Structure 1
Protein backbone atom coordinates (compact mmCIF):
# COMPACT_ATOMS: atom_id res chain seq x y z
CA UNK A 1 0.00 0.00 0.00
CA UNK A 2 1.32 3.36 -0.94
CA UNK A 3 -0.44 5.66 1.48
CA UNK A 4 -2.03 5.83 4.89
CA UNK A 5 -5.33 6.60 3.18
CA UNK A 6 -5.16 3.38 1.13
CA UNK A 7 -4.27 1.36 4.21
CA UNK A 8 -7.11 2.86 6.26
CA UNK A 9 -9.55 2.27 3.39
CA UNK A 10 -8.68 -1.44 3.26
CA UNK A 11 -8.61 -1.74 7.05
CA UNK A 12 -12.00 -0.06 7.43
CA UNK A 13 -13.67 -2.01 4.63
CA UNK A 14 -12.71 -5.37 6.15
CA UNK A 15 -13.46 -4.10 9.68
CA UNK A 16 -17.06 -3.43 8.61
CA UNK A 17 -17.28 -6.98 7.24
CA UNK A 18 -15.68 -8.48 10.36
CA UNK A 19 -18.02 -6.54 12.66
CA UNK A 20 -21.06 -7.72 10.68
CA UNK A 21 -19.80 -11.32 10.51
CA UNK A 22 -17.91 -12.04 13.74
CA UNK A 23 -17.88 -15.76 12.98
CA UNK A 24 -16.10 -15.20 9.64
CA UNK A 25 -12.53 -16.29 10.30
CA UNK A 26 -11.33 -15.10 6.89
CA UNK A 27 -12.57 -11.61 7.67
CA UNK A 28 -10.86 -11.73 11.07
CA UNK A 29 -7.56 -12.87 9.56
CA UNK A 30 -7.72 -10.25 6.81
CA UNK A 31 -8.49 -7.57 9.38
CA UNK A 32 -5.50 -8.66 11.45
CA UNK A 33 -3.29 -8.40 8.35
CA UNK A 34 -4.42 -4.84 7.59
CA UNK A 35 -4.18 -3.91 11.27
CA UNK A 36 -0.54 -5.06 11.28
CA UNK A 37 0.15 -3.09 8.11
CA UNK A 38 -1.23 0.05 9.73
CA UNK A 39 0.87 -0.44 12.84
CA UNK A 40 4.11 -1.65 11.27
CA UNK A 41 4.26 0.11 7.90
CA UNK A 42 2.52 3.37 8.85
CA UNK A 43 3.15 3.58 12.61
CA UNK A 44 -0.58 4.19 13.04
CA UNK A 45 -2.04 4.07 16.55
CA UNK A 46 -5.35 4.74 18.26
CA UNK A 47 -7.52 4.35 15.16
CA UNK A 48 -11.00 5.59 15.95
CA UNK A 49 -14.03 5.33 13.67
CA UNK A 50 -17.26 7.27 13.70
CA UNK A 51 -20.04 6.90 11.17
CA UNK A 52 -22.80 9.26 10.20
CA UNK A 53 -25.35 8.94 7.39
CA UNK A 54 -22.89 10.06 4.72
CA UNK A 55 -19.32 9.45 5.91
CA UNK A 56 -17.04 7.29 7.96
CA UNK A 57 -14.80 9.61 9.94
CA UNK A 58 -11.49 8.07 10.92
CA UNK A 59 -9.00 9.56 13.37
CA UNK A 60 -5.56 8.05 13.67
CA UNK A 61 -2.37 8.98 15.47
CA UNK A 62 0.68 8.70 13.21
CA UNK A 63 4.11 9.57 14.52
CA UNK A 64 2.61 11.85 17.17
CA UNK A 65 0.32 13.66 14.75
CA UNK A 66 -3.47 13.28 14.82
CA UNK A 67 -4.76 12.70 11.30
CA UNK A 68 -8.36 12.65 10.14
CA UNK A 69 -9.70 10.91 7.07
CA UNK A 70 -13.19 10.68 5.61
CA UNK A 71 -14.69 7.99 3.42
CA UNK A 72 -18.17 7.89 1.89
CA UNK A 73 -20.35 5.21 3.51
CA UNK A 74 -21.27 3.78 0.10
CA UNK A 75 -17.57 3.28 -0.73
CA UNK A 76 -16.76 1.46 2.52
CA UNK A 77 -19.97 -0.56 2.77
CA UNK A 78 -19.80 -1.92 -0.77
CA UNK A 79 -18.21 -5.22 0.28
CA UNK A 80 -20.61 -6.00 3.14
CA UNK A 81 -23.56 -4.95 0.99
CA UNK A 82 -22.46 -7.36 -1.73
CA UNK A 83 -22.04 -10.18 0.82
CA UNK A 84 -25.50 -9.51 2.24
CA UNK A 85 -27.12 -9.35 -1.20
CA UNK A 86 -25.59 -12.63 -2.38
CA UNK A 87 -24.67 -14.64 0.73
CA UNK A 88 -24.47 -17.87 -1.24
CA UNK A 89 -21.35 -16.53 -2.95
CA UNK A 90 -19.64 -15.80 0.38
CA UNK A 91 -19.98 -18.86 2.61
CA UNK A 92 -18.27 -18.94 5.95
CA UNK A 93 -16.27 -22.15 5.89
CA UNK A 94 -15.92 -24.00 9.18
CA UNK A 95 -12.21 -24.19 9.95
CA UNK A 96 -12.74 -27.41 11.92
CA UNK A 97 -13.39 -29.22 8.64
CA UNK A 98 -9.77 -28.75 7.58
Structure 2
Protein backbone atom coordinates (compact mmCIF):
# COMPACT_ATOMS: atom_id res chain seq x y z
CA UNK A 1 0.00 0.00 0.00
CA UNK A 2 1.29 3.43 -0.89
CA UNK A 3 2.36 5.63 2.02
CA UNK A 4 -0.10 8.39 1.11
CA UNK A 5 -3.02 5.95 1.06
CA UNK A 6 -2.05 4.34 4.35
CA UNK A 7 -1.68 7.74 6.03
CA UNK A 8 -5.08 8.96 4.84
CA UNK A 9 -6.75 5.65 5.77
CA UNK A 10 -5.18 5.87 9.23
CA UNK A 11 -6.45 9.44 9.60
CA UNK A 12 -10.02 8.55 8.68
CA UNK A 13 -10.17 5.54 11.01
CA UNK A 14 -8.43 7.49 13.80
CA UNK A 15 -11.23 10.06 13.58
CA UNK A 16 -13.79 7.24 13.70
CA UNK A 17 -12.08 5.64 16.72
CA UNK A 18 -11.99 9.01 18.50
CA UNK A 19 -15.62 9.69 17.67
CA UNK A 20 -16.80 6.21 18.64
CA UNK A 21 -14.76 5.19 21.70
CA UNK A 22 -16.69 1.91 22.14
CA UNK A 23 -16.08 0.81 18.53
CA UNK A 24 -13.47 -1.93 18.90
CA UNK A 25 -13.45 -2.67 15.16
CA UNK A 26 -12.40 0.93 14.52
CA UNK A 27 -9.57 0.63 17.04
CA UNK A 28 -8.38 -2.64 15.51
CA UNK A 29 -8.47 -1.13 12.02
CA UNK A 30 -6.58 1.93 13.24
CA UNK A 31 -3.92 -0.33 14.75
CA UNK A 32 -3.66 -2.19 11.43
CA UNK A 33 -2.85 1.05 9.61
CA UNK A 34 -0.39 2.06 12.32
CA UNK A 35 1.36 -1.26 11.76
CA UNK A 36 1.54 -0.66 8.00
CA UNK A 37 2.89 2.84 8.53
CA UNK A 38 5.52 1.73 11.04
CA UNK A 39 6.63 -1.56 9.49
CA UNK A 40 6.33 -0.79 5.78
CA UNK A 41 7.00 2.95 5.72
CA UNK A 42 9.29 3.64 8.68
CA UNK A 43 6.99 5.97 10.59
CA UNK A 44 8.09 6.25 14.23
CA UNK A 45 5.65 8.88 15.52
CA UNK A 46 2.14 9.63 14.32
CA UNK A 47 -0.62 11.82 15.70
CA UNK A 48 -3.40 14.24 14.93
CA UNK A 49 -1.87 17.59 15.77
CA UNK A 50 -5.00 19.71 15.44
CA UNK A 51 -8.20 20.28 13.55
CA UNK A 52 -9.24 23.75 12.50
CA UNK A 53 -12.26 24.98 10.57
CA UNK A 54 -11.05 23.67 7.21
CA UNK A 55 -8.04 21.38 7.71
CA UNK A 56 -6.83 18.43 9.76
CA UNK A 57 -3.13 18.56 10.64
CA UNK A 58 -1.27 15.23 10.93
CA UNK A 59 2.26 15.19 12.30
CA UNK A 60 4.56 12.21 11.84
CA UNK A 61 8.23 11.26 11.90
CA UNK A 62 9.54 9.27 8.98
CA UNK A 63 13.18 8.44 8.30
CA UNK A 64 14.14 10.62 11.25
CA UNK A 65 12.45 13.71 9.83
CA UNK A 66 9.40 15.38 11.33
CA UNK A 67 6.71 16.16 8.77
CA UNK A 68 3.32 17.82 8.73
CA UNK A 69 0.55 16.77 6.36
CA UNK A 70 -2.69 18.73 5.95
CA UNK A 71 -5.97 17.24 4.79
CA UNK A 72 -9.29 18.93 4.04
CA UNK A 73 -11.43 18.45 7.12
CA UNK A 74 -14.48 17.39 5.12
CA UNK A 75 -12.56 14.55 3.44
CA UNK A 76 -10.92 13.43 6.67
CA UNK A 77 -14.25 13.27 8.52
CA UNK A 78 -16.23 11.66 5.68
CA UNK A 79 -15.98 8.08 6.96
CA UNK A 80 -17.26 9.05 10.41
CA UNK A 81 -20.08 11.03 8.81
CA UNK A 82 -21.02 8.05 6.63
CA UNK A 83 -21.04 5.70 9.63
CA UNK A 84 -23.16 8.07 11.71
CA UNK A 85 -25.67 8.51 8.90
CA UNK A 86 -26.20 4.75 8.50
CA UNK A 87 -28.69 3.51 11.14
CA UNK A 88 -27.36 -0.06 11.14
CA UNK A 89 -24.08 1.20 12.69
CA UNK A 90 -25.75 3.24 15.44
TM-score normalized by structure 2?
Answer: 0.90
The answer to whether 1:8 aligns with 2:10 is: no
Structure 2 counterpart of 1:25: 24
TM-score by length of 1: 0.83
Aligned residues: 89
Superposition deviation, residue 87 in structure 1: 2.9
Please identify the structure whose Cα radius of gyration is greater.
1
* SS at 1:23 equivalent: coil
Q: CA deviation at 1:81?
A: 0.6
Query: Gaps (5+ residues) in structure 1?
Result: 92-98
Structure 2, unaligned runs of 5 or more: none
Counterpart residue number, 2:36:
37
State the 4+ residue runs in structure 1 displaced beyond 3 angstroms.
none
